[in-house]
Amino acid sequence: MSMPETTATLATGQRRWQVSGWIYLIYLGNLLFQPAFDPQSGVADWLITAAIIAAFLPLYALAQLRPDQTRWWVTIPTVALGLIAVGFNAGASVLFVYAAAFAGASEPRRYAVRWLIGLTVLVGFLALVSPLPMPYRLVSMGPPLLFIWIIGALTMEETERERDAVRLRLDNARIEHLATVAERERIARDLHDLLGHSLTSVVVRAQLAQRLADADPGRAAQEATEIEGIARKALDEVRAAVSGWRQASLDAELDVAQTMLDAVNVELTVQRDPELVALPSTESALALALRETVTNVARHAHARTCHVSLEVQDSEVRLVVSDDGVGGNAPEGHGLSGMRERIAALGGQVQRSGAFGTTVTVSVPAQVAT
């Protein structure tokens, strides 16, 4: 986990303290036992007790306001204050319990346990060197030795649950973000494929209609009707793509490819395995790949023939689109890049050759495709 995330989880881990932690100040009442019940206590002991409480309250408040700085600004100063105060007031050993709670709420578990061990050793040492007679020494030092672990463990468990909740929220936010990015990329790819193909058809047919306007008005009107139909279909497909409902069909794309290539005087031949039935996700990806490649043939190839084959070879479903056009090794555009991403998501690959004409081979593992 990165440092910003660690800081966030540690800070969140002390929200319980920030909301209800002030009630725990009641345990400072332990400091009142010695001046209240020791017959030898005087005004000076009450003033020292008040000074200890006054020195601790800012540290406690700081733990509420800056949980990310608890170790250096609160936990260590609280331990130091306890070391100084316990020589004047045995009840100041409660400060070590507070230090255990601070460590449990602000430190990762492995560091918090080290703090509890260190505090236990420190309080045990103070119990050995304390000038208090028994059983008062045991009464003043025994409970902190126990509550260091009780309060520390409870605080660690509560904080760990809150940290897990924070991590879960962060993970959910990441997943939501990645899903949003993936959906945007899908829409961008699909819109490119849809509009690139449809607008190419519109341009080609519009040019044909212009040429026929004087020589054959009836045919020109027919082409205008076809243009309207293509535009309406493209609009429906764009709406479906944005909604995530579109499922492209290979048969439909072959029919559209035939119509488009006829309009630019390119002869299309198709070789398809009639027994091949692809899964919907694979068929949609292959259909969009077919659309993109045929659109490129119509736009850029200046070809006379185009051949499409779809069959199973070497445990792969292969779609091959080849033409006898100008070929070339021009940089790939968004269409081919989107095709590669879509096919790669199925575990397949896309290969392009531009030596003599252009050949695009799309292959998907048969166990995934069928």
Q: Quick check: is 239 in a domain? A: no
SS3 assignment, position 109: helix
The closest of 294, 279, 209, 226 to 248, measured between CA atoms, is 279
Q: List pLDDT tens digits, range 22-77.
A: 777 888 887 887 777 777 778 888 898 888 888 888 888 887 777 667 777 888 88
Q: Quick check: is 185 in a domain? A: no
pTM for the full predicted model: 0.43
Q: How many helices (H) and strands (E) does the chain have?
A: 14, 5
Q: Which H helix or E strand runs over 186? A: helix 136-215
Q: Which has more confidence, 85 or 193? A: 85
The DSSP annotation for 299-343 comes to III--SEEEEEEEEETTEEEEEEEE-S----PPP-HHHHHHHHHH
Which residues make beta-bridge pairs with 363?
Answer: 318, 349
Same domain, 171 and 269: no
Is the confidence at residue 15, as pLDDT, over 50? no
Q: List pLDDT tens digits, range 296-320.
A: 888 888 889 999 999 998 888 999 9
Number of domains in the chain: 2
SS3 assignment, position 136: helix
| Buried residues in 20-46 as b, exposed as e (16+ CB within 10 A) | ebeeeeebbebbeebbeeeeeeeeebe
What local confidence, expressed as pLDDT, does residue 243 receive?
55
Distance CA 129, CA 123 (A): 10
Q: Quick check: is 91 in a domain? A: yes
Q: Which has more confidence, 149 or 208? A: 149
- The domain in which residue 291 lies consists of 248-370
Q: Quick check: is 228 in a domain? A: no
Same domain, 8 and 121: yes
Last residue of a domain, one of 140, 175, 210: 175
Last residue of a domain, one of 150, 175, 200: 175
Which structure tokens are listed for 152?
């520390």
Same domain, 13 and 97: yes
Q: Quick check: is 155 in a domain? A: yes
Q: Quick check: is 229 in a domain? A: no
Q: Quick check: is 166 in a domain? A: yes
Report for 61-75, 187-201, 273-287: range of highest mean pLDDT = 273-287
Q: Quick check: is 223 in a domain? A: no
Is the confidence at residue 283, as pLDDT, over 70? yes
CB 272 within 8 A of CB 310: yes
